Amino acid sequence: MIVQIPAVLTPDQVQAACHALDRAPWVDGLATAGHQGAQVKRNRQLAEGSPLARELGNVVLAALERHPLFISAALPNEVYPPMFNRYEGGETFGAHVDNAVRLLPGSGRKLRTDLSATLFLTEPRSYDGGELLIEDTYGAHAVKLPAGDLVLYPSTSLHRVEPVTRGVRLASFFWVQSMVADEGERNLLFDLDTAIQRLNQTGADDAARLQLTGCYHNLLRRWIKV
């Protein structure tokens, strides 16, 4: 399931992040590419673990913790420290699947990548190209969101970033290890939670809502792995 999550960052937060990134030193994106990605990755990124990467990453993490749609869709157990990349002048990232496991910096611990996320930091009209193309059983889906919006998708997906032919594309990217590893189970929980929230908004039958909420938490209890 591909989920678009609006307004993760406020306009002020986006502006502050872009201002800082405009003055930041960038390194070759190959610095963190795996064997597969190294063959097709042509971009730049903020050095992982740099003071600015940690500062901006903490802003993103704090925003995610407060966003109910992200929590509902991801059921996050752990989030990889957000990273930041830059595309311009024809830079691109060809078709690839993200690595199944990432080493958490400075800890030696491993994170299973259940979900991948891209948080857009520049407005779509400011650059040409740069669409994130995500493939699933229904074909390829082009994603190019307003600044501050995020797309969440299964890390098992084949995906790519189209060449940026005008302007600059700035984004944050990271991975999520979910409390529910199975994609099908996670999607069912998301659909159920979404339906419950809609019923709450309409003031539907209290007993029915309570029963559905109980079903949600009992399924979560059955499927959760922490």
Same domain, 137 and 215: no
- 138 or 133: whose pLDDT is higher? 133
- pLDDT tens sequence across 175-210: 999 999 999 999 999 999 999 999 988 878 889 999
Q: What pLDDT was estimated at residue 109?
A: 93
Q: Which domain holds residue 217?
A: 183-223
Does residue 114 have a pLDDT over 70? yes
How far CA 98 is from CA of 53, 58, 68, 102, in Å, comes to 21, 23, 25, 9
Q: What pLDDT was estimated at residue 177?
A: 98
Same domain, 90 and 195: no
Same domain, 35 and 88: yes
CATH number of residue 106's parent domain: 2.60.120.620
Rounded to an integer, the average pLDDT of 134-141 is 91
Same domain, 119 and 201: no
Same domain, 192 and 87: no
Same domain, 135 and 190: no
Q: What distance, in Å, lies between the first and last C-alpha atoms of the chain?
A: 22
184 φ/ψ angles, rounded to the nearest 5 degrees: -65, -45
Does residue 133 have a pLDDT over 80? yes
- pLDDT tens sequence across 53-90: 999 999 999 999 999 999 999 999 999 999 999 999 99
Enter the tokens of residue 101: 């496991």
**Total structural domains within the chain:** 2
Q: How many CA atoms lie within 13 A of 11 on its CB side?
A: 1
Measuring CA to CA, which residue among 156, 113, 160, 107 is closest to residue 133? 160
Same domain, 50 and 78: yes
Does residue 33 have a pLDDT over 80? no
Q: What pLDDT was estimated at residue 219?
A: 97
Q: What pLDDT was estimated at residue 226?
A: 77
Q: What pLDDT was estimated at residue 35?
A: 62
CATH number of residue 213's parent domain: 4.10.860.20
Same domain, 163 and 205: no
Same domain, 196 and 215: yes
Q: Using 50, 70 and 90 to split pLDDT, how confident is the model at 137?
A: confident
Task: Check the CA dihedral 182-184-190-196 and report its sign.
Answer: negative
Mean pLDDT of the chain: 94
Same domain, 219 and 160: no
Same domain, 145 and 218: no
Same domain, 62 and 158: yes
Q: What pLDDT was estimated at residue 36?
A: 63
Q: Indicate the SS3 state at residue 67.
A: coil
- pLDDT tens sequence across 3-25: 999 999 999 999 999 999 999 99
